[in-house]
């Protein structure tokens, strides 16, 4: 019972830290970035990663996710550039910086928890997901953030789930 309670408290604490980070980025500092949807998308992705990491007791991944969210925001606000598109609308690259830092932090968290073998697997799948995104953009002539993050979430879930299947198979082989 003690282990379960510890796992639950760790997950709740991680979600609370992400919630505070989300509140700061989405509402307190909104005037700095003016991005309504992007902070929501990253927070949902972060929440899913934290829940999966909490179930499998990957504390470093949970911490890296929270750090990636708030750290990515801070770096995006420092290094962003603003410009104009050909139609006269304003452009901003802060969302790209924020997303990249977030993904790199999650990969670093996976590396700290699992080792380089799983990170190379995840990185390969992320490259494949990016190729699918490029294909999607070419076919439909539009880009959505979900076309990047849905495959990444699936990949992270699989990366956390496959080692468990492998360990169960090894246990069965050892028993027989």
Looking at the DSSP bridge assignments, the partners of residue 70 are: none
Q: Where are the alpha helices (DSSP H) in the chain?
A: 2-23, 30-33, 37-55, 59-79, 94-114, 116-140, 146-175
Residue 84: in which H helix or E strand, if any?
strand 82-84
Average pLDDT of 114-133?
Answer: 64
Q: Whole-angstrom Cα distance, residue 30 to residue 39?
A: 10
Average pLDDT of 32-41?
Answer: 85
Whether the CB-CB separation of 71 and 105 falls below 8 Å is answered with yes
| Higher-pLDDT residue of 129, 46 | 46
Whether the CB-CB separation of 94 and 128 falls below 8 Å is answered with no
Average pLDDT of 143-161?
Answer: 63
Q: Whole-angstrom Cα distance, residue 60 to residue 54?
A: 10
Domain edges within the chain: 2-83+91-175
pLDDT at 70 over 70: yes
Instruction: List the structure tokens of 130.
Output: 């990016």
Average pLDDT of 126-149?
Answer: 62
pLDDT of residue 56: 78
Residue 64: in which H helix or E strand, if any?
helix 59-79
Q: Whole-angstrom Cα distance, residue 129 to residue 96?
A: 16
Q: Whole-angstrom Cα distance, residue 24 to residue 174?
A: 50
Q: Whole-angstrom Cα distance, residue 19 to residue 82?
A: 28
Average pLDDT of 153-157?
Answer: 66
Strand 90-92, strand 82-84: pairing: antiparallel
pLDDT of residue 118: 59
pLDDT of residue 17: 94
pLDDT of residue 138: 60
Q: Whole-angstrom Cα distance, residue 2 to residue 9?
A: 11
For residue 50, the SS3 value is helix
Average pLDDT of 139-149?
Answer: 59
């Amino acid at each position: 019972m003690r282990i379960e309670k510890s796992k639950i408290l760790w997950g709740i604490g991680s979600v609370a830290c992400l919630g505070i980070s989300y509140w700061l980025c989405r509402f307190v500092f909104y005037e700095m970035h003016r991005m309504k949807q992007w902070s929501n998308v990253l927070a949902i992705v972060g929440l899913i990663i934290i829940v999966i990491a909490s179930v499998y007791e990957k504390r470093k991944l949970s911490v890296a996710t929270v750090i990636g969210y708030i750290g990515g925001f801070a770096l995006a606000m420092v290094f962003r550039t603003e410009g104009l598109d050909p139609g006269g609308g304003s452009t901003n690259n802060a969302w790209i910086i924020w997303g990249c830092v977030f993904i790199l932090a999650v990969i670093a968290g996976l590396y700290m928890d699992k080792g380089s073998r799983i990170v190379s697997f995840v990185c390969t799948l992320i490259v494949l997901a990016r190729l699918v995104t490029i294909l999607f953009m070419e076919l439909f002539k539009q880009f959505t953030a979900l076309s990047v993050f849905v495959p990444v979430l699936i990949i992270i879930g699989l990366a956390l789930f496959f080692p468990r299947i492998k360990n169960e198979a090894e246990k069965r082989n050892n028993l027989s």
